[in-house]
Chains A and B, each alone.
Chain A
Amino acid sequence: MSRQYCTFRLDGHLFGVPVESVQEVLKQQELTTVPHAPAGIEGLINLRGQIITTLDMRSRLGLQPRTDSSSVIDVVVRTADGDVVSLLVDEIGDVLEPGPEYFEELPETVPASIRGTVTSVCKLDGQLMLVLDTESAVRLDLEKV
């Protein structure tokens, strides 16, 4: 059975998360910064009365900091234990449903900052989609390990 992936772009790369973990996708929300917050935390957003932590996926994955943050997108994901976290991405893509034969393990030469959160690679036509593990993407303490 093939799974559906919600895709988004970060620094030119295409990433995908299982569609069932995505709660909603929003245009950039008003951000409240949190002084002394660990790196990777962009701030807080008010999602209909719920206060949601926003993570900057670029910093989370060790990519280049973005220069133009005027059109960022919040991908709101829900983890297995019910936590709702917003992931800040550059651009939202389509929902894809590649067959299992397209997937492959992540090459071992990929930087550790990505290895920790990306579970596999999907070989699409003309580009690669990196499958993000939602649970580890929102777990910040992973960076210290």
Chain B
Amino acid sequence: MEVIDEIVAEFLVESYENLDQLDRDLVALEQEPGSRELLSSIFRTVHTIKGTCGFLGFEKLESVAHLGESLLSRLRDGEMALDPQVTTVLLEMVDAIRALLAQIEKTGEEGAADYAGLKSRLQAVLDGRPVEGAPEPTPADSPVEPAGVSPASQVPTAQVPATPAATPAGQDPADGVDEAGEAASEPSVVTVEVPETAAPAPVAEPVAEPVAEPVAEPVATKHRPAPTTAPVESPAVEESAAGARRSVADSSIRVDVDLLDGLMNLVGELVLTRNQLLQRAATRQDPELQRTAHRLNLVAGELQEEVMKTRMQPIDNVWSKLPRVVRDLCVSLGKSVRVEMEGRDTELDKTILEAVKDPLTHLVRNSVDHGVETPADRLAAGKPAEGRLLLRAFHEGGQVIIEITDDGAGIDPVTLRDKAVSRGLLTREAAAALGDREALHLIFQPGFSTAKTVTNVSGRGVGMDVVKTNIERIGGTIDVISAVGEGTTVRIKIPLTLAIIPALVIGSDTNLYAIPQVNLLELVRLESDQAQARIETIRGTPVYRLRGALLPIIDLREQLGLSVVEHETTFIVVLQADGRQFGVVVDEILDTEEIVVKPLGKQLRHIDLYAGATIMGDGRIALILDANALAKRAGMVGEAATGDSGPDQATSTGDRVSLLVIGLSDGRRVALPLGAVDRLEQFQTQTVERVGGHEVVQYRGQILPLVRLDRALQSYGDAPEGDLMHVVVCRHRGASVGFVVAEIHDIVEEEITVRTHLDTGGHQGSALVGDFVTELVDVERAVSAIDPSLLAVALAS
């Protein structure tokens, strides 16, 4: 019985491969409906599946495949034209075959579903117009008709024993007819369709016969002859049927991934032994030994590389399934999307490829479902009706970048912020403080969906967070860039292979640690006097000014629970994790190396700080640090400043902001975000004119409304004396507004760390700016506090 299982397993593996090919071909066929080459390839594939499952006694599978094959043969012979309806039915057939195979894989049986609906649809297409339209069906097809007309029930019973027999129908009637019994009329169906099979059949036959004979009885009744005959026959028949496509397969063999993993481990050990030998050889004065050691060195190195390669597969293995996904989605959503691929031969480790399969599919579905608009909307927006989905893959710095770009509606950060607030994920203030890029990252939050309506495809609020988790699990990162109205790009960065990654090796205390290159941005070296000057502390938290931006610093020793020591020279490793940058102080920086990642034992696996361990050239063990976990452990939560925060984010705590500090007439200090300030002007007091109840001045050919900031902020000190008044001209929503102030103090750029909510009501609280408590003014409120109509005046001018 074990033999059967083995055969069935092989059949399954092969059939899955064939199905993948089928999906690709069918979608490609829709693009060029006339291609005989594609049709022949599809026909051959279905035929192979049908033939093999016939031997193995999978009747339902065979009956489905048979009808599909009949339909295909007609398409191939040009008797029927391919239209969407036919394609859909064919794809449906492929799905049915896939489902049946899955069932067989699980239970060894075909299951209860009989696919009658599909079969009748296939039959309907077969019986449709083309049949009547074809004046003189070729001999090849005419026998199909009776088989088709008599419903499927007859087909399987007759055909299972017939298939092996059918091949030699002409040459070896005894075998075929005897077994098939009353179904003798049926074999002709197969014979005609498989002219190529004739050649190898004689080879298979003699071997099969003696085996088949003794079991003739059960064979005829139970339709399970396959196990005995198939081992010999199936490869032979298939080879000829698959014909041309097999040439590639012939030069390759299937190997279990576990075997490769084992090989990989052994090579790792070999490399270590080599290292030890090299060290010993170097100390001996033996030229012969040295030469041998050198040779071993080279061979081991090459061996390692080659073994690595065995695990690499082109990303196309995953991508090739996507056009089908997109096509199905387009049909159900009434959209039209063209899939383009760049870099489909980019290679990735098999394990990684498996891991990115689902995330990629999800992202592509998302792009089609939410990204690309309906044709009508697209035309209205001045875009071509057909959307474009671009998949790109390329190598960059030892990593693979995969981009999924659509030219759809894009993601509106404003909508995202609103959504985050309405879902209770963020407070309104926190949402407003988010930069556009950070806001886009909200889509990776659990329970966050921006789909206006929930479709059966996506929008149920699960998904993007899972995608992110899955990508991060394999040491990758994900980013999203979007322009409203232009489209969205999702960028995934993943390591080439999980087994070997480039990493920076550092020392802390007596131990070695490896930090994956993915997370590494740069290295900073500070001598002790520099370190004292450049590393500042905010409430005990050390920060370093890295090109003007503040970088939070953590000490690795502290994070590892070791005693912190003073260093002569401070080494800072600048890392990026989860969109945050931070510096890690380490004792020493050793080297960047390609390290072989080994998992930690069960007892240590729960410590998220380590992503694994590796063995260095000298046999020492280095733990691999997980930068994300390190950041989390150090208490870095939320999005820290990454240096690109806009000036209008003056309010987000901890950001570096530029402020214009102004004095009010009662001596209070207030600050305006510098980004809102256009110019600082001085006007003669007599130039102020009045429009209705408002003060205005003529300014650069326009009428500039003035706002007395004293009044807006309830400052009732003495109004400044003199002819000149200071005016801060601000741009607000496209209009200019002049704030009349008592005094202009300074422009400062600093980190706001100490702040309260105390202010003159409704503003943005107060903070310590340059040693003074300063109220932060919200321009919008300051303006609206006076008179909304004032803005209208300004706009009108």
Residue numbers of A with Cβ under 8 A of B are 30, 32-38, 41, 44-46, 48-53, 55, 83, 85, 138, 140
Contact = CB atoms under 8 A, between A and B. Distances in A.
A112 to B, nearest CB: 20
B511 A33 contact: yes
A35 B510 CA distance: 12
B598 interface: yes
B601 interface: yes
A41 B603 CA distance: 8
A35 B561 contact: yes
Interface in B710-760: none
Contacts of A50: 265, 269, 598
A32 B621 contact: yes
9 contacts: A32-B613, A32-B620, A32-B621, A34-B604, A36-B609, A44-B600, A49-B615, A51-B601, A85-B603
Contact of B601 (A36, A48, A53): A53
Given A32-B620, A46-B621, A51-B613, A37 B269 contact: no
A85 B604 CA distance: 12
Given A32-B511, A34-B610, A37-B604, A51 B598 contact: yes
A46 B619 contact: yes
A52 B601 contact: yes
A49 B603 contact: no
Contact of B604 (A41, A45, A46, A49): A41
Contacts of B696: none
Given A30-B619, A44-B613, 5 more contacts: A30-B620, A33-B511, A36-B609, A46-B619, A51-B598
Given A36-B560, A36-B609, A51-B613, A44 B603 contact: no
Contacts of A41: 603-604
B272 interface: yes
Interface residues of B, number: 26
A26 to B, nearest CB: 14
A38 B661 CA distance: 54
B268 interface: yes
Interface string B622-662: 11000000000000000000000000000000000000000
Contacts of A85: 601, 603
Contact of B603 (A36, A38, A45, A51): A38
B1 to A, nearest CB: 27
A138 B603 CA distance: 8
Nearest to B622: A32
A34 B600 CA distance: 11
B601 A35 contact: no
A33 B598 CA distance: 16
Interface string B582-600: 0000000000000000101
A41 B615 CA distance: 19
Contacts of A35: 511, 560-562, 609
Nearest to B560: A35
A37 to B, nearest CB: 6
Interface in B263-295: 265, 268-269, 272
Contacts of A38: 603
B560 A51 contact: no
Contacts of A140: 603
Interface of B: 265, 268-269, 272, 510-512, 560-562, 598, 600-604, 607, 609-610, 613, 615, 619-623
Contacts of B610: 34
A43 to B, nearest CB: 8
A138 B604 CA distance: 11
Contacts of B265: 49-50
A49 B596 CA distance: 10
Nearest to A40: B603
A34 B512 CA distance: 11
A53 B268 contact: no
Nearest to A85: B601
A145 to B, nearest CB: 15
Contacts of B562: 35
A75 to B, nearest CB: 15
Nearest to B598: A51
Q: Which 5 A-B pairs have the closest CB atoms?
A: A53-B601, A49-B269, A35-B560, A32-B621, A140-B603
B561 A83 contact: no
Nearest to A37: B604
Given A38-B603, A140-B603, A49 B621 contact: no
Contact of A53 (B560, B561, B604): B604
A46 B560 contact: no
Contact of A83 (B272, B601, B613): B601
Given A34-B604, A37-B607, A51 B621 contact: yes
B603 A55 contact: yes
Contacts of A83: 601-602
Nearest to B612: A51
Q: By CB atoms of chain A within 10 A, which of B265, B561, B601 has the most?
A: B601
Given A41-B603, A51-B615, A83-B602, A36 B621 contact: no
Nearest to A33: B511
Contact of A36 (B561, B598, B613, B622): B561
A41 B610 CA distance: 15
B511 A51 contact: no
Contacts of A33: 510-511
Q: By CB atoms of chain B within 10 A, which of A32, A35, A50, A83 has the most?
A: A35
A107 B322 CA distance: 65
A52 B599 CA distance: 10
A98 B269 CA distance: 39
Contacts of B613: 32, 44, 51
A34 B622 CA distance: 10
A53 to B, nearest CB: 4
B607 to A, nearest CB: 6
B596 to A, nearest CB: 9
Contacts of A44: 600, 613, 621, 623
Nearest to B266: A49
Q: By CB atoms of chain B within 10 A, which of A38, A45, A49 has the most?
A: A49
Contacts of B601: 51-53, 83, 85
Q: By CB atoms of chain A within 10 A, which of B265, B620, B621 has the most?
A: B621
Contact of B620 (A46, A52, A138): A46
A49 B272 contact: yes
Contacts of B602: 53, 83, 138
A32 B615 CA distance: 11
A33 B562 CA distance: 12
A55 B602 CA distance: 12
Nearest to A45: B621
A129 B218 CA distance: 62
A47 B38 CA distance: 54
A36 B633 CA distance: 11
Contacts of A46: 615, 619-621
A83 B560 CA distance: 27
B346 to A, nearest CB: 30
Nearest to A43: B621
B321 to A, nearest CB: 34
B302 to A, nearest CB: 18
Contacts of A53: 600-604
Contacts of B598: 50-51
Contacts of B621: 32, 44-46, 51
